[in-house]
Structure 1
Amino acid sequence: MFDLLGLSTQHEMIYRAMLQRPDLNIAGLAEHLAVSGDQVREALDVLADLALIRLDPQGEHARVVRPQAGLMALLAKVEADVAVRQRQVEATRAAIAAIATAHDDRHQAAEGRILEGVDSVRERLAELAHTTRTECLSFTTGGAQTSDTMEAERPLNQVALQRGIRIRNVYQDSFRNDPATLAHARWMASLGGQSRTTPTLPMRLVIVDRETALVPIDPDNSGQGALELHSPGVIAGLVALFEQVWRAATPFGEQTAPDTHGLTPQERELLLLLSSGHTDESAARKLAISLRSVQRMMTSLTERLGAASRFQAGVHAGRRGWV
């Protein structure tokens, strides 16, 4: 318990014995604790150096300093050392930030830069995890997250959350069907992260401290990399988009509730996609579900509308105010 103060387990044991049995000399302590006399003498030297006891001139007896004075004095010294160390850490953090800023100023325009490939994006996210001050907002598109992606994100999210950073993330509803992604979201929630889901998302997105945003170079192929943006006007627009989606999304842990027509958010979105000209295949990509799931959902909707064909289903859906 007192290793922080410089005491080993054995030192602490001998110190506690001296508090309980101040009448024992070195030999008595050794016999009482079933240790050697040399071990007791070594412990007494350490305790004396820490000003927890005072040895007599012969070194066979010792008087214990009142714990309230001796131990609290040691703790105060440790606290002072920790405060100095913390100031050194903060100074180092500021120096690193200054170096990084100077480097970025030389290699990127004020409005942003290109991060080519997945590895570059992950490296930048790792940097941001350590330098974020207040919050991180993100959209995670697609259904099941790959194990590589989750393993790469896990330590970064943990570092940020343990530093008190507020993390809010919106997934697509389809992620609820994947046990591994679901477990990852639960783990995030256990550390204080907040997650919600919605049927579709416009693109992948990360916003840090409302000052930096990462968006995909190609929304249909996130593997190409990302654009890092810093323009206040662009960031403000992306934050507004995030907040709008966040308000309409379903909080993690709650079931997606059907609307007044009995439609789930995913079913309503499918009808909107198909009515705007999307094929089953493109609707499946937008919803991050399989083509078979789209077809099964559409069959259910057609039956509920009492329609004989998909065209008729669209007409009936429009008349009922479903779309």
Structure 2
Amino acid sequence: MTDDVRDGRWKSKAVTSETMDIVTEALRAPMGRVAAARQRDELRDMAAAVALYEVAAAYGSGDCEDIARKAGLEGERAAAGWRTLQEMGLIRIADGRVETVDPETALAVVMGRYTANVQEQLQSALAVNDATQKLLTVFRPAAARRQEQVAVDQFTGPAGRDRALRDIAATLRDTLDTAYQGMACDAPEGLARLARRGIRVRALYPRTMLSAPGQARRLQDLSDMGVTVRVVDHVAHDMMVFDRHTVCLPGSLGDISESMIRIRGAVLVQSFASIYESYWQRATPLSRAGARPHHAEMSPQERAVVRLMTNGYSDDRIARKLGIETTAVQDVMTSLMERLGAGSRFEVGYKLARELDPRDL
């Protein structure tokens, strides 16, 4: 720390000028491809971010307004600098104070997110490819051979829809597969009745329903009544597949409660069944999706240690920051490793990162 920092004086003009020169030189090549106005805005925002980061790092931590004042920034320039640092993962706010994150740690987080996104896209692409291959190599040739006629009927209004569903349910023998974008008002009770008849009932719901306590409780009740429930990141549309020979779809997008389309014919229905199976295989069983996350059981001290560890702090630095012994920090890490079944600090961070929002710390 310089004498100026110790005395509470920060050379904001010198830092800003020097910072602007560094940022301009570093971004010169890519900026040639954007508009001049955007170049200037990006330079100013980045310069403000660097000035704030330098002050925050020099002081260890501090209040946002105090750091901005020492950096010679205020108003929109300070706000733009803080936004830039947050977007790049270089700061965290803990107990109302700013803490800096080492650039190498922030880079590792960015690369981890990129890798996770790439893997997710790859899995989605493989699933689409699998469904496409089945449609092209199995169902289309079968349709060409059999020349089976497909019957499509539309039912408008709740009365017509309910009557058609009762007729289908009365002749149902083996399976019912359903997918919902939300919790249909009368679906849980009807599905449970079919399950009690010995019908194998499977139900897909969007994962977001678990974030609403009431809806999550209804899903659990449905599971307790014999329906096999899974959750998936995205449900494209409502769908009901009866005994793999009849499909019911909403008559208008997202409105299965008011109207319904019924499709009969093995060739086309098998295509919908294949799409449903693709969703089902990628979905998570409710018993696993609703499991209590590890971070919910962490003590305040464990949360503080993990937060500083993910900021790139060493054990000694964490101990000084929290005012505890280094051995206490090591004990916390050992306890977390045992609880998570992890073989290293890195694995602890990896497992928590998969289920933890940084704001939870």
TM over 0.5: no
Indicate the structure with greater helix content: 2
Scaled by the length of structure 1, what TM-score is found? 0.41
Scaled by the length of structure 2, what TM-score is found? 0.37
Structure with the greater alpha carbon radius of gyration: 1
